[in-house]
Amino acid sequence: MKRRDLLKNTGLFGISALLAPALSAKGLSVKTPNEKLKIIVSGGHPDDPETGCGGTIKLLTNAGHQVINYYLTVGQGGIEGLSAQKAAEIRKKEAVEACRILGAQRVFGSQLDGAAEVNKARYDEILQFLEEQKPDVVFTQWPIDTHPDHRACSLLFYNAWLRSSSGFDLYYYEVMTGRQTQNFTPTVFVDISSVIESKRKACFAHKSQKVKEWYDNIHGVMEKFRGGQCYARYGEAFARQQPFGSNLFS
């Protein structure tokens, strides 16, 4: 058996591999094509879900699954020379357009860019959001990251995963690996070659963010590297939170 076939058979490839545990929790399998799942992709700022998971989001929505991008902040600190209010307006519009391209819905959180808080009230806020939404799968940022808002996002959603009464499957994604995400150890790879143009368009919808510079120099390189690991032209990689017990610390 070739290595590629071995990886496929062990379930490390594709959105089927990503969704298999959530389907299994419902007593279903990936061979149940009509089962539609609800998926939330959280990120510290507008552009994080798109850059880390844009291809996977597009594959999921193309397959009929419901995807909601949750932006912890609206990126109000992210445009030099503009007031927080003006920057927030621009970045919200960019996120709306990116979500339109990917076929995703969006929710904007109430935290401040560059000052995201992790405390009891914020833990409760995210837990309540997820208890209301009842997603099957949640994506969040990898916790070891040079940006404090990314770390905050990761911890808030990880804590909700620990405390959730409904239970959902949790994955971590990477952004600007080496510069932001550090020590990332993926366990699942998705071939995004068929939707790479949609992903690029969604990323480039964030016109205020010097996209060409970071896409060409960092994210484009990551996509090729992750693609190489799953025998595809372009790929995205995820680390699955390993389940254990339940509600150990609530």
Round to whole Å and give the CA distance between 30 and 16. 6
Between 45 and 226, CB nearer to Zn ion: 45
Q: Which residue is nearest to Zn ion (CB)?
A: 45
Query: 45 or 58: whose CB is closer to Zn ion?
Result: 45
From 44-52, 81-89, 114-122, 204-212, span contacting Zn ion (CB under 5 A): 44-52
Report the distance separating Cα 92 and Cα 111, nearest Å.
14
Residue 65 or 206 having the CB closest to Zn ion: 206
Crossing angle of helices 84-102/48-62, nearest 10°?
30
Q: Is residue 174 close enough to count as binding Zn ion by CB under 5 A?
A: no
Pick the binder of Zn ion from 14, 44, 54, 227 (CB under 5 A).
Answer: 44
Q: Whole-number minimum distance, CB 70 to Zn ion, in Å? A: 13
45 touches Zn ion by CB under 5 A: yes
Distance CA 242, CA 230 (A): 21
From the list 43-51, 78-86, 131-139, 220-228, the region that binds Zn ion by CB under 5 A is 43-51
Residues 64, 8, 238, 131, CA torsion sign? positive
Q: Tokens representing 167?
A: 């239970």
Smallest distance, Å, CB 207 to Zn ion?
16
75 touches Zn ion (CB under 5 A): no
Stated as kind and residue range, the H or E segment containing 169 is strand 169-173
As measured in angstroms, the least distance from the Cβ of 95 to Zn ion is 12
- The region of 15-23, 36-44, 87-95, 127-135 touching Zn ion under the rule CB under 5 A is 36-44
CB of 45 to Zn ion, least distance (A): 4
Whole-angstrom CA distances from 156 to 44, 164, 175, 185, 231 are 11, 12, 18, 20, 34
Report CA dihedral (63, 150, 177, 198) to the nearest 10 degrees.
30
Residue given tokens 């989001």 in the structure block: 57
Say whether residue 48 binds Zn ion (CB under 5 A). Answer: yes
Q: Which is nearer to Zn ion, 42 or 159 (CB)?
A: 42
Stretch binding Zn ion (CB under 5 A), from 12-20, 47-55, 95-103, 181-189: 47-55
- Judged by beta carbon, residue 58 or residue 206, the one nearer Zn ion is 206
Length of the chain: 250
Of the two residues 48 and 236, which places its CB atom closer to Zn ion in the complex?
A: 48
Contacts from 5-9 at CB under 8 Å and sequence distance 24+?
A: 7/189, 7/230, 7/231
Of 97 and 124, nearer to Zn ion (C-beta) is: 97
Counting runs of H as helices and runs of E as strands, what totals does the chain give?
A: 9, 7
106 binds Zn ion, rule: CB under 5 A: no
Which residues bind to Zn ion, rule: CB under 5 A? 44-45, 48
